[in-house]
Chains A and B, each alone.
Chain A
């Protein structure tokens, strides 16, 4: 689904900065086996989002003392998250309505 993965990433990063593995873990926990997400697919999405200015990255040290690249949400990313979230709610309500009435 177009933009869904980006929305999941933005939401995951809305509380704290995380490395790619941490983002994948958090998303897997959140979707609770409903969605199958290949971890690798996160990275092109992360790189594209950084290119668009929604997230920023910097190298740091992980919880097990290894070098890892951390991502954090930018102000533009937070705005985009709010907009996409509203958009998602609207689409979700519309589809649910159609499914219930058709």
Chain B
């Protein structure tokens, strides 16, 4: 319920973006797991190997969502608009009784709630794939490789 409330009233809500990012990362993790399954004894072992190679899923998801949000100012504006409509509806309901415009307030609240619910349902993500793994550097020289790469100091990369 708290999650629902947070999502409905978060002006920078990013359900659709999160869903897309998670779907993309899930495809990668599942493909990696399938790849490791060819050599692993169990599914858990393959999945653990996939997660090790992938890195911190949660951090990657958050980074991608943040970057995507910058690209979608319209959705952010639309969500903020619904919140404003909702607040305006409440205002009209409270102070518009004497002017007999409280029905208009109810209408505004309904439109705002329906609009926000529509955006929420559109961005629903029933299955998350965001387990944690050990964070580490994303691109480093492999010191165990038997190549001239050892000429370079990996700490400086």
Docked pose: A44 CA to B25 CA in angstroms: 11
Report chain B residues within 8 Å CB of A80: none
Q: Are B60 and A20 in contact, with the CB atoms below 8 A?
A: no
Q: Is the interface of B mostly helix, strand, loop or mixed?
A: helix
Interface size class of B (residues with CB under 8 A): 20 to 34
* Interface window among B1-9, B67-75, B121-129: B67-75
Q: Mark B116-154, 1 if CB is under 8 A from A, else 0.
A: 000000000000000000001111111001010101000
| Stretch of B26-34, B39-47, B92-100, B107-115 with 4 or more beta carbons under 8 angstroms from chain A | B26-34
The docked-state distance in angstroms from the alpha carbon of A30 to that of B4 is 45
Partner of B63, one of A19, A43, A50, A51: A43
What's the nearest-Cβ distance from chain B to residue A59, in Å?
8
Binary flags per residue of A19-49, CB closer than 8 Å to B gives 1, else 0: 1110010000000011111111101100110
Would A43 and B139 count as touching, CB distance under 8 A?
no
How many Å from the CB of A10 to the closest CB on chain B?
15
Q: Which residues of A contact B137 (CB under 8 A)?
A: 38
Interface string of A54-91 (1 = CB under 8 A from B): 00000000101011110000000000000000000000
| B149 and A34 form a contact (CB under 8 A) | yes
Check A36/B67 contact, CB under 8 A, given A24-B28, A41-B60.
no
In angstroms, Cα B147 to Cα A38, docked, is 20
Q: Which residue of B lies closest to A28 (CB)?
A: B53
Q: Is the CB of B27 within 8 A of A38?
A: no
Complex CA gap A50/B23 in Å reads: 18
Instruction: Note all chain B residues with C-beta closer than 8 A to A62.
Output: 27, 31
Closest 10 CB pairs of A and B: A41-B138, A38-B55, A40-B55, A40-B60, A47-B67, A44-B63, A21-B28, A21-B31, A38-B138, A40-B54
Q: Residues on A close to B: CB < 8 A?
A: 1, 4-5, 19-21, 24, 33-41, 43-44, 47-48, 50-51, 62, 64, 66-69, 99
